Structure 1
Amino acid sequence: MIGELTDPKRRQFISEVNTLSGLNHANLISLVGYCVEGGHCALVYPFFGGGSLHDRLFPKPSSEPGADPPPEERRCAFRPLTLQERMSIIFQVAKGLCYLHDAARPPIIHRDIKSNNILLGTGSGERLHTVVADFGLASIGERVLGSAREHVVLTSHIGGTFGYMSPEYMLKGELSDKNDVYSFGVLVLEVLTGKQVLAPAASGVGWQTLVDWVRPFLQVGDDNGPVVRKQGVELPYAILDPCLREQAVEYPIRQMVMATITLAWQCVQYDYRSRPAMRDIVQYIHNLLVEAGWQRLTAMTDVSRLVNLSELPDDE
């Protein structure tokens, strides 16, 4: 909380803690406890030894050979994430967001999905546990999601991270669950391309977002009338993180990766109404993993109650 911890702010803090403490999902970080003392508030969460997804994708330079690295650089000892681990991370994040939007009561919009807010355990392969963390900007979505799924409300408080924020939220303050869908799509592109969400523009002036960088590969036309390329074979191989290319040689795996990137592009469409819902995304990725022979990554996932994906890109 910013400013003096007044009684109304204290009551708001306790109310939000009660809401967050009611969340119960394997892919959402659990709240261990909280403290309100004097003019300060604190939330206590479990420690995740694998660090953040951002640090695993973009590790800092290690110390000199033979030197004992400082604690903030020890994460560099982790090997690069494999394709299987990255697909598992994507799937687990999708399940966590689906729970927030559809199962939490009241529903919750995270508003700050980014690789820094995705924490990893110390496992590997299919045992790499992933959680969505940092609910500091989360909005209780009862008035947004309670009645009409397409309902959008306006907010005067814009919070989030540039590059991940949807255009309607960043420019007009329109708040809906599709804001999280957009951020999730950016996250997927980040994970599979291995590129930063923001990079210096080729002109040397300003910045280029990851969405702008991938647009020539994935879209024909402009934002007013996009034609998304649905055939995975049309996607240039260069868009993939070089660390993943040798792992995506076999046809079923390659098709899964291409379909996942195409799905990510559907998530970052300019018009929020063109973006799929998280519950549909979960089922779609589940199906991709099964078809690729990676059904072990879908263990403990019940998609029987999720709706079909008639409006999502075809996996051909």
Structure 2
Amino acid sequence: MPKGSLENHLFKKGVQPMAWATRIQIAVDVARGLSFLHSLNANVIYRDLKASNILIDSKFNAKLSDFGLARKGPSGDGTHVSTRVVGTMGYAAPEYVASGHLTPKNDVYSFGVVLLELLSGRRAMGDETMGGIEGTLVDWARPFLGDSRQFSRIMDTRLRGEYSKKGAQAASSLALRCLCCDPKNRPSMVEVLAELEQVQIQAQRNTPRTIMEQHIKRTSTPSPHKLSSFA
């Protein structure tokens, strides 16, 4: 993919920081891909969602890649699939790590981590910008998520405050729900996608005209390539 991975754009030194509208567009693209995988017809659990597996095309559309760990989800009356625990530390849902019980809600947790990375510009594990705190980004950020007076503390300083405060608060609250310790209380990816699309609309309204024209130009023409969320 021409623009490489999301990991490079968020964490590689010397790369120009992504604008708020671009970050939300990427989150929407990823949510759309996972929503499709979790649909009744597909019933696939991705199982290894992380920044390095999200690839970016020339117009900053995001695509899911590397389906080597994907697994067909539970069928019939089954509530989960029992598997050997695989994935990447910092992104895997705690109940999956503890039991090996695989459900679509495991992907929802991983998406919450990626959304948190998009908001904060920090890595899922042991980021130096967290003041040398050992542990996960989730552990560091959880106290601030969903708090209208505290959520701004997690936001990427490279955005220089150029983002919708209402949209950022909505996104941080959504991330908190995705990261809920009880998987039953996490939203489905369909719900996540619907909420992010509303944040995206607001982000576009608050984007300067010249940037907006470029954004509309690259997202307004439907095509099989644009509609695909997979590399």
TM-score range, shorter chain: 0.7 to 0.9
Secondary structure of 1:131's aligned partner: strand
Aligned sequence identity (%): 36
From the CA coordinates, give the structure whose radius of gyration is larger.
Answer: 1
Code of the aligned partner of 1:199: G
Q: Report the Cα offset of residue 291 of structure 1.
A: 3.9
1:36-47 to 2 correspondences below 5 Å: none
Q: TM-score, normalised by structure 1?
A: 0.61
Counterpart of 1:235? 150
Structure 1 unmatched runs, 5+: 1-47, 61-75, 219-228, 301-316
User: Counterpart amino acid of 2:7?
Assistant: H
CA contact (8 A) 1:196 1:210 kept: yes
Q: What is the CA distance between 1:283 and its match in structure 2?
A: 0.9
Question: Which runs of 5 or more structure 2 residues have no equivalent in the other structure?
Answer: 206-214, 223-231
Determine which structure has the larger strand proportion and give its number.
Answer: 1
Distance 1:200 1:115 in 2: 14
Runs of 4+ aligned structure 1 residues displaced above 3 Å come to 200-204, 291-300
Which among 46, 49, 53 is matched to residue 113 of structure 1? 49
Show the counterpart of 2:115: 188
User: After superposition, what is the alpha-carbon deviation per residue over 1:249-306, rounded to whole angstroms, capped at 9, x for unaligned?
Assistant: xxxx210111011101100111000100001111111122224445959856xxxxxx
Superposition CA RMSD, Å: 2.5
Higher helix proportion (structure 1 or 2): 2
What TM-score, normalized by structure 2, do the two folds share? 0.82
Structure 2 partner of 1:161: 88
Partner SS state of residue 58, structure 2: coil
Distance 1:293 1:80 in 2: 18
| Aligned counterparts, 1:269-288, within 5 A | 269-288=180-199
> 1:24: which partner in 2?
none
Matched, 1:79 2:32: no
Q: Which has the higher contact order (CA 8 A, sep 6+)?
A: 2
Question: How far did 1:203 drift?
Answer: 10
Aligned partner of residue 162 in structure 2, secondary structure: helix
Map of 2:173 onto structure 1: 262
The aligned length equals: 210
Matches for 1:1-316 after TM superposition, within 5 Å = 48-60=1-13, 76=14, 78-102=15-39, 105-123=41-59, 128-141=60-73, 144=74, 146-147=75-76, 151-155=79-83, 157-199=84-126, 207-218=134-145, 229=146, 233-248=148-163, 253-294=164-205
